Structure 1
Amino acid sequence: MNGGIKEEFSNAWSKPNNAVVQLILINLIVFVAARVFKVFFDLSGATDTFFFLFRKLQLPADVGSFLLQPWSIVTYFFTHYDFFHVLFNMLFLFWFGRIIQEFLNSKRVIALYVLGGLAGGLLYMFIYNFLPFYSDRVGESLMLGASAGVFAIVVGAAVFMPNYTFFLLFIGPVKIKYIAIFYVFMSFIGTTGANAGGEIAHLGGALVGWLYISQLNKGTDLGAWVISFISFVKSMFKPQPKIKVTHRGGNRRATTKGSSKSASPTSSTPQTEIDAILDKISEKGYESLSKDEKQKLFNASKK
């Protein structure tokens, strides 16, 4: 059994186009680790120490406090404490993230999640420090949770495929554009409530989701730098291949020609054709695509 779990966990990271599961796993690992450490700290009589350390993962509204823990602009959107908080965030990430992953590939799921989290955190700090309404909360306010990144994915999926339909329990079929509009509206009216900071972050993530897909449809990928940075970090932990140089007497043969013969030409779909397919999805839904158009979109998503 242990071997099976270990193998499944390893496969989740080696599988291509599997960003949704990977993001969910990271969030769950941080959640489980926090709760396990909490038990040990409680048993040792050091509960206050646990919460002191746990706060270092959360994003403070106060700029001075943030400058002492700048990493929190990233760690906060992988951190949860309440079970239902992480549960609902991960459910929404799974439902809506699969749409982005299937049609736009895994890299854009990650880009949307990270950009949404960053934008949500920055908007939260900006609003709390510049609007007098929140002035009495700045010093004590801390934020955690994946909601801003998840909202970016929810709104991004709704902008990309507005007529994609979910079947909701007790309600029936609902187009995802209406689900996104509902949750954005609820976040807006909650910006003066008990969870004001979180609701503001939701709006920041939602704005990124709309902007990202809108620009992507025009040929601009706002998340390219996120993917490049993550690829660079990953490359630092990959073992570099050993290069062995040998010298052999006799005739030398150029390998350029041989290598060029072995390479097979690959066909690519022009960006204009992909844009036309995306426009068709936006207007008529994914179901309106022909088999050939679906294949072209799938091939483009793997690049």
Structure 2
Amino acid sequence: MSYHDQPYSPGGFQVMPPAIKTIILVNVAVFFLQFFSPLAPFLQFFGALWPVASSGDYQFQIWQLVSYMFMHGGLAHILFNMFALWLFGTEIENYWGTKEFTTFYFVCGIGAALINLMTTVGSQYPTVGASGAIFGVLLAFGMMFPDRYIFLYFLFPIKAKYFVAGYAALELFSGINNSAMGSQSNIAHFAHLGGMAVGFVYIKIRQQGWSLTDWAEKLASKNEAVKGKGPKLHSKTEDRNVSETEIDEILDKISREGYESLTKEEKMKLLKAGDR
């Protein structure tokens, strides 16, 4: 059976996995604070991503690289973002696991913020929204399931790899056009592209056997060992090609027992197979 077309069993697939559920709930809570509470000016001042060279009372702060992802400009903005997160992120979290998906989400969001800061020097307008991180998730979906069909406007079928490539081209054109025209757009096109670019680089590095999540866990284990609270943990991922038979066996195991039943080595093999 094919890696990209492997069906999930009802018991192994979560329609609303933990990370996506938490991200959506936090975004909705912040949205209500933004628009229906007296905290709105405070959130705008401290939470939005302000350009580095912004003047006056509004200034860039390091925590804004994360806080801006939980703020939105209006009802349509948050509805579109949260729907896209659920639509494209659900299968990614089910395949990768909650820890790896959460790491990826924030890596893309922070990367998008950094690129946005480089392209908005001199601007006086802040950036808000989870779009940068979600565009990273969209990119991951296109890489993991390139031949999966997406129905554009719920009518026109298009393969995920073409949908993602077309969306990236549209964002690049819009960003360059706005820069050339000197116009101020309320859409952070380069932040979207930044999320996709950072996501692509992270996935490629991850497929070579390195993971920020694993690195953090190893670092924590070493710290525990130094303090005498536990043994050091060592893991070694085999640097060899994964055969189609191995992938089929892993996918059969997912169908029987769910993704969380996989060992760390099996999860690594599955992730590497996504590069085919």
TM-score norm. by structure 1 comes to: 0.63
> Following the alignment from structure 2 to structure 1, what is the Cα–Cα distance between the partners of residues 100 and 174?
29
| Percent identity between the two aligned chains | 26
- Name the residue aligned to 2:49: 59
**Map of 1:1-303 to 2, 5 A cutoff?**
18-37=18-37, 41=38, 50-51=40-41, 53-63=43-53, 69-129=61-121, 135=122, 138=123, 140-191=124-175, 192=178, 194-195=184-185, 198-222=188-212, 224=214, 271=238, 276=242, 290=248, 292-296=249-253, 298=259, 299-300=262-263
**Per the alignment, in what secondary structure is the counterpart of residue 73 of structure 2?**
coil
> Following the alignment from structure 1 to structure 2, what is the Cα–Cα distance between the partners of residues 163 and 196?
33
Instruction: Classify 1:196/1:31 alpha carbon distance in 2 versus 1 (closer, same or farther; 3 Å).
Output: closer
- Name the residue aligned to 2:232: none
Q: 1:55 offset after TM fit, Å?
A: 3.1
Structure 2 residue identity aligned to 1:115? V
> Following the alignment from structure 1 to structure 2, what is the Cα–Cα distance between the partners of residues 51 and 105?
37
- Any conservation in 2 of the 1:20–1:109 contact (CA below 8 Å)? no
Q: 1:33 offset after TM fit, Å?
A: 2.2
Q: Which runs of 5+ in 1 are unaligned?
A: 1-15, 42-48, 130-134, 233-267, 281-288
The higher-RCO structure (CA 8 Å, 6+ apart) is 2
Q: 1:69 offset after TM fit, Å?
A: 2.8
Q: 1:153 offset after TM fit, Å?
A: 0.8
Which digits, 9 at most, give the CA deviation of each residue in 1:249-276, with x for residues without a partner? Answer: xxxxxxxxxxxxxxxxxxx9x7568x62
- Name the residue aligned to 2:5: none
Structure 1 residue identity aligned to 2:162? Y
Q: Which runs of 5+ in 2 are unaligned?
A: 1-15, 222-234, 268-276
Q: 1:62 offset after TM fit, Å?
A: 2.6
Which digits, 9 at most, give the CA deviation of each residue in 1:179-217, with x for residues without a partner? Answer: 211221121122125437611111110001111211222
> Following the alignment from structure 1 to structure 2, what is the Cα–Cα distance between the partners of residues 167 and 146?
23
**Per the alignment, in what secondary structure is the counterpart of residue 120 of structure 2?**
helix
- Any conservation in 1 of the 2:112–2:132 contact (CA below 8 Å)? yes
**Per the alignment, in what secondary structure is the counterpart of residue 157 of structure 2?**
strand
Instruction: Classify 1:178/1:220 alpha carbon distance in 2 versus 1 (closer, same or farther; 3 Å).
Output: same
> Following the alignment from structure 2 to structure 1, what is the Cα–Cα distance between the partners of residues 215 and 59?
23
- Any conservation in 1 of the 2:49–2:60 contact (CA below 8 Å)? no
Q: Which has the higher helix share?
A: 1
> Following the alignment from structure 2 to structure 1, what is the Cα–Cα distance between the partners of residues 146 and 113?
26
Instruction: Classify 1:88/1:197 alpha carbon distance in 2 versus 1 (closer, same or farther; 3 Å).
Output: closer
Structure 2 residue identity aligned to 1:165? Y
Q: 1:85 offset after TM fit, Å?
A: 0.4
Q: 1:63 offset after TM fit, Å?
A: 4.0
Q: 1:127 offset after TM fit, Å?
A: 2.1
Q: CA RMSD in A?
A: 3.5
Bigger Rg over Cα: 1
**Per the alignment, in what secondary structure is the counterpart of residue 188 of structure 2?**
helix
Aligned positions, number: 224
Q: 1:52 offset after TM fit, Å?
A: 5.4
Structure 2 residue identity aligned to 1:33? L
> Following the alignment from structure 1 to structure 2, what is the Cα–Cα distance between the partners of residues 225 and 28?
31
Instruction: Classify 1:126/1:219 alpha carbon distance in 2 versus 1 (closer, same or farther; 3 Å).
Output: same
Q: 1:109 offset after TM fit, Å?
A: 1.7
Q: 1:147 offset after TM fit, Å?
A: 0.4
